[in-house]
Amino acid sequence: MNNIEKPTMSNPIHFFAFCGGIGLIGLAPGTAGTLFGILVWWLTLDAGFLIQSLMAIIFLTAGIWICGKCAKDLNVHDHPGIVWDEMATMFTILLFQPMSWQNWLLAFILFRCFDIFKPWPISYIDKNISGGLGIMLDDIVAGVATIICLLVLGQISLV
């Protein structure tokens, strides 16, 4: 990880990967990116479930390229300021949540715990899968773990 480059918000890839500069927040950029995901989801509520679902698919798949290209530009595997992965995953988790701030808070806390502490298999993915796929996949698996916990807790139902 020698010669780590600085991100520039005039570069569209860096702008998206850092969620418009939110990832440049010095303290807890991943948490800021996750909160940004909640904001983006809330701002798109009127679009409806189908449009939000399509947005989630686009966010998750485009994130592989966006995060990978940004990491390559910056010469570092997963720069802490790259928060597109947190934003996209939190946005997606909320598709499964009932409409209440308590459910959103629980989903937020669970996701942040999985993303920060990285239990297996999240830690394995983080250490062994490189590039944009690795950057996105550890968060996606943390999101799946969050959804499973919410199912077990009876907070959501997939039926």
Q: Encode the chain in three state secondary structure.
A: CCCCCCCCCCCHHHHHHCHHHHHHCCCCHHHHHHHHHHHHHHHCHHHCHHHHHHHHHHHHHHHHHHHHHHHHHHCCCCCCCCCHHHHHHHHHHHCCCCCCHHHHHHHHHHHHHHHHHCCCCHHHHHHHCCHHHHHHHHHHHHHHHHHHHHHHCCCCCCC
Q: What is the pLDDT of residue 48?
A: 95
Q: pLDDT of 93-145, one tens digit each?
A: 999 888 888 899 999 999 999 999 999 999 999 999 999 999 999 999 999 99
pLDDT-derived band of residue 155, with 50, 70 and 90 as boundaries? confident
pTM, two decimals, is 0.93
Task: Of 47-61, 67-81, 143-157, give the lowest mean pLDDT range.
Answer: 143-157
